[in-house]
Amino acid sequence: MNNPLIRKLEQFTRLSGSDRTILDELASTGIRRLSARRDLVREGEKPRAINLMLDGWAFRYKMLEDGRRQIISFFLPGDLCDLNIYLLREMDHSIAALTPLTFCEIPRDTFEQVTERPRIVQALWWDSLVAAAIQREWTVNLGQRNALERISHLICELFFRIRGVGLNDDTSFFCPITQNDLAEATGMTSVHVNRTLQELRGRGLVHWKGKQVEIPDLGALCQLALFNQNYLHLDREGAHLDAND
């Protein structure tokens, strides 16, 4: 089984064979499918399960009473939605499918069995810390970076996250995000996003055609974005936890 959760967690540490077997079993039960642009869970609902993204993209968002929406994170294959979900009485945000989505619902008792594996628990802690680090970086993006830096930084982040689960090549990746999605994720207007993407294209840094993004010079784009990938913690920081069985 091609399990994106295993690929993601092994960015932190090498899992044992039995760890991988358990995670494969986890990802093969309770599988659900959802059409694009449909809500997976809505604000105010009682959360039922942890959702593991298997194929497709999703996003987390907050909606204001007047209909304005802020996208506050993107979910990629291998991402778990809210490990602390069982502590919540009701959801304080919504999650929707960006593309046709395949995911699995993990019941509480099943997840508790998985957390009996120490190395998996350590890797899940790493995953939660990275998610928090990404939110901090998004706050900086909204508060301090200019338009070029905001868009460039988000593109760089997505590139490295997608590469971490083996879904891109050296210079390009599939990206189903629309210009309106970009606007709602970066606090810009769609018109401003369009102009910014045109400028990046003019500089030869980003070619966004349909749902394919090409980055001819990743180093230059990272420099423009003031991007430092250290917050993604992709350098096997848990290597000392490696073990074989």
Distance between CA atoms of 157 and 215, rounded to whole angstroms?
A: 12
What is the pLDDT, as a whole number, of residue 245? Answer: 47
Residue 196 in domain: yes
What is the pLDDT, as a whole number, of residue 244? Answer: 44
Residue 208's DSSP bridge partners are 213
Question: What is the chain's length?
Answer: 245
Residue 79 DSSP class = -
What is the pLDDT, as a whole number, of residue 69? Answer: 96
Judgement on whether residues 175 and 70 belong to the same structural domain of the protein: no
Q: How far is CA 31 from CA 37, 102, 103, 106, 114, in A?
A: 18, 7, 6, 9, 17
Q: Which two tokens stand for residue 122?
A: 């350590």
Burial 121-150 (b: 16+ CB within 10 A, else e): eebbebbeebbeebeebbeebeeebebbbb
Hey, is 96 helix, strand or coil? strand
Residue 129 in domain: no
DSSP secondary structure, 155-214, as one string: HHHHHHHHHHTT-B-SSEEE----HHHHHHHHT--HHHHHHHHHHHHHTTS-EEETTEEE
CATH code of the domain covering residue 203? 1.10.10.10
Per-residue pLDDT in tens (0 to 9) along the chain, 245 residues: 589 999 999 888 888 999 999 999 989 988 999 999 999 999 999 888 899 999 999 999 999 999 999 999 999 999 998 777 777 788 899 999 999 999 999 988 888 888 889 889 999 999 999 999 999 999 999 999 999 999 999 999 999 999 988 887 788 999 999 999 999 999 999 999 999 999 999 999 999 999 999 999 999 999 999 999 999 988 765 556 554 44
Residue 58 in domain: yes
Residue 122 in domain: no
What is the pLDDT, as a whole number, of residue 243? Answer: 47
Q: Which two tokens stand for residue 98?
A: 């960006």
Judgement on whether residues 151 and 98 belong to the same structural domain of the protein: no
Residue 241 in domain: no
Residue 232 in domain: no
Cα angle 187, 193, 197 (rounded to 5 degrees) comes to 140
What is the pLDDT, as a whole number, of residue 131? Answer: 94
Structural domain that includes position 94? 4-117
> Is the pTM here over 0.85, yes or no?
yes
Q: Which two tokens stand for residue 118?
A: 């120490």
Residue 135 in domain: no
Judgement on whether residues 101 and 154 belong to the same structural domain of the protein: no
Judgement on whether residues 16 and 109 belong to the same structural domain of the protein: yes
Name the strand (E) or helix (H) holding 102.
Answer: strand 101-106
What is the pLDDT, as a whole number, of residue 47? Answer: 82
What is the pLDDT, as a whole number, of residue 180? Answer: 97
The last residue of a domain, from among 98, 117, 136: 117
What is the pLDDT, as a whole number, of residue 242? Answer: 55
Residue 138 in domain: no
What is the pLDDT, as a whole number, of residue 214? Answer: 96
